Amino acid sequence: MSRALHGRQEPSFKVVPRHAASDGGYAVKLATAYGMPPDPWQVTVLMGWLGTTKKGKYTASDCGLAVPRQNGKNAVLEFTELMKAAIQGRRILHTAHEVKTCRKHFLRMKAYFENERKYPELTALVSSIRQTNGQEAIVLKNGGSIEFIARSKSSGRGFTVDDLVCDEAQELTDEQMEAIQPAISSAPSGNPQTIYTGTPTPPTSPGTVFDRIRRNAHAGRSKRLCWYEWSVPEIGDIHDRTRWEATNPALGIRLIVSVIESELQKMSPDGFARERLGWWNDEADRQTDIDMKNWQACRTTKPAKDGPVAYAVKFSPDGRHVSLAACRRPGKDSGLKPHVELLEYKPMGYGTQWLADWLTADGPDGAPRWRASLNIVIDGRIGSSTLVNQLLEAGVNKRVIVTPGSGQMIDAASMFEQGINAHALTHIRQDALEDSIGHAKHRIIGSNGGFGYESSAENIDTTPVETVAYAYWAARTSRRHPGRKQRMVRLA
């Protein structure tokens, strides 16, 4: 007779900021008092997410949970939102990828506040409950509230809340995040928090945010990120039941073994590994013609701080984003290498005036950035002419501005890759640039072997890599000699 399976309560990986106390205890007590005692693993997540300083501020500004489906991550959200709204009077915006998912969560939360027999204290708190489809909300007398929306490129605008919850985070795109993130920028509590829950991002999904947050957690790049993950590092033996136990904490509690056995028969090995074992394909879509080993070898923590700078602006072909990059050219006798950085990567919703203002503003040495620059390269069909005119109207010398053609793109891309392969440049770690470099395939230009870049992934933009290539090319080829020597602590 085979032994009973029991899910592992400790995560495969976690990052938890140090905290002096935790509001998670309140969430656990509240759920337990209402007949829903959390599983041990859920208690662990709640205590970490809601860890506080001695002054009561959350130590984690961003919280994440990646665990296979049907294990109970939605219950963790219920416990968290219930405590925050009912006890702390916080305002919450709950978002999901699909309308039906958001509606289901609303109905579960509404049940707490409409059952006077089971939860009289909660029903007494209710000021109003709005049930209009797509505009559901629970508003409490203590100032707390929970509002529910399905995400889109424009949803979330007009909300001001303390907590932003992103369920089904594996589908969360940068465009959607840009629309909803400002909702907590003026949090009434002055103590905002963003929570992400989901499963590994599938290869067909346009979502990029959840994967990027996970990579930040594993790289230890965010001191205010709290992340819990149940996962396997590789597809491996999907029939190995000890791996089922390691990645499904609810196994033996509410998750039924026969259901997993059925999934095993219906799913492909990689699909089963992703959906049931929490496997993240870290190499998915990372196809590039740039030598990543040489690119990593060019990384530095001590970039050049002296020397003139070349700037580059590139508008994406679809007109949705614009990148601003720079390359510093150190003195020949310094022994240092040209240093490239991506300074900004923004949606075109911000327009182009901010670029003109930044390029014409005084830099750290007191001189306008354009005057102290080697060149300003501006490329892209949408936005370029507008920005050029704005710069000229602001007094920028037209000789400083370069509007390249296809030949210059070929030269820039070729020179940039030669610099990478010869370790003749430096860069720092930047997520948007890393994603762009990691998906930059050669786009053939002309018939003589010239190339630019196109993305190997539908949801990754190569505009950042083209922008830094232009900046590097301008720094290497410019004949300008700015009259005033720059001395800057950082490029931006």
Q: 183-231: per-residue pLDDT in tens?
A: 999 999 999 999 999 999 887 777 889 998 998 899 887 889 999 999 9
Contact assessment for residue 8 and residue 278, using Cβ atoms and an 8 Å cutoff: no
Which residue range(s) make up the domain with 197? 13-275
pLDDT at 215: 87
The percentage of the chain sitting over the pLDDT mark of 70, rounded to a whole number, equals 96
Q: How confident is the model at residue 135 (pLDDT cuts 50, 70, 90)?
A: confident
pLDDT of 156 strictly over 90: no
* Closest CA relative to residue 195, chosen from 112, 95, 281, 320: 95
- Domain boundary among the residues 275, 302, 327 is at 275
Rounded Cα–Cα distance for residues 22 and 25 (Å) = 6
Residues 178 and 305 in one domain: no
pLDDT at 342: 96
Q: How confident is the model at residue 491 (pLDDT cuts 50, 70, 90)?
A: low
Residues 263 and 312 in one domain: no
Q: What is the pTM of this model?
A: 0.65
pLDDT at 1: 46
How high does pLDDT run on average in the chain? 91
Compute the CA torsion angle 77, 82, 88, 91 (nearest 10 deg).
70
Residues 224 and 334 in one domain: no
Contact assessment for residue 81 and residue 146, using Cβ atoms and an 8 Å cutoff: yes
pLDDT at 221: 76
Residues 300 and 439 in one domain: yes
Residues 207 and 321 in one domain: no
Contacts 24+ apart (CB under 8 A), 44-49: 44/9, 44/10, 44/11, 44/228, 45/76, 45/228, 46/22, 46/76, 46/79, 46/80, 47/22, 48/14, 48/16, 48/22, 48/24, 48/226, 48/228, 49/24, 49/80, 49/193, 49/195, 49/226
- Domain boundary among the residues 250, 275, 300 is at 275
Q: How confident is the model at residue 354 (pLDDT cuts 50, 70, 90)?
A: very high
- Average pLDDT score over residue span 70-99: 95
Q: 239-256: per-residue pLDDT in tens?
A: 999 999 999 999 999 999
Q: How confident is the model at residue 485 (pLDDT cuts 50, 70, 90)?
A: very low
User: Tokens for 447?
Assistant: 């018939």
Angle, vertex CA 224, rays to CA 222 and CA 229, nearest 5: 75
pLDDT of 486 strictly over 60: no
Rounded Cα–Cα distance for residues 163 and 458 (Å) = 31
- Average pLDDT score over residue span 309-313: 96
Residues 298 and 390 in one domain: yes
CATH number at residue 391: 3.30.420.240
- Average pLDDT score over residue span 12-36: 95
Asked if the structure places residue 483 within a domain, the reply is no
Asked if the structure places residue 144 within a domain, the reply is yes
Rounded Cα–Cα distance for residues 265 and 339 (Å) = 52
- How many domains are there within the chain? 2
- Average pLDDT score over residue span 445-451: 85
φ/ψ of residue 41, rounded to 5: -65, -35
Rounded Cα–Cα distance for residues 416 and 312 (Å) = 14
More confident residue, 461 or 156: 461
pLDDT at 488: 42
Asked if the structure places residue 390 within a domain, the reply is yes
The secondary structure of 198-244, three-state, reads ECCCCCCCCCCHHHHHHHHHHHCCCCCEEEEECCCCCCCCCCCHHHH
pLDDT of 176 strictly over 60: yes
- Average pLDDT score over residue span 91-101: 94
pLDDT at 283: 61
CATH number at residue 115: 3.40.50.300
Asked if the structure places residue 349 within a domain, the reply is yes
Residues 260 and 337 in one domain: no
Q: Which of 124-138, 298-312, 448-462, 477-491 has the lowest mean pLDDT?
A: 477-491
- Domain boundary among the residues 275, 306, 321 is at 275
Rounded Cα–Cα distance for residues 76 and 156 (Å) = 23
- Average pLDDT score over residue span 154-170: 90
Q: 272-307: per-residue pLDDT in tens?
A: 999 999 999 876 555 789 999 999 999 998 899 889
pLDDT of 452 strictly over 70: yes
Q: How confident is the model at residue 86 (pLDDT cuts 50, 70, 90)?
A: very high
Residues 124 and 224 in one domain: yes
More confident residue, 193 or 479: 193
pLDDT at 489: 38
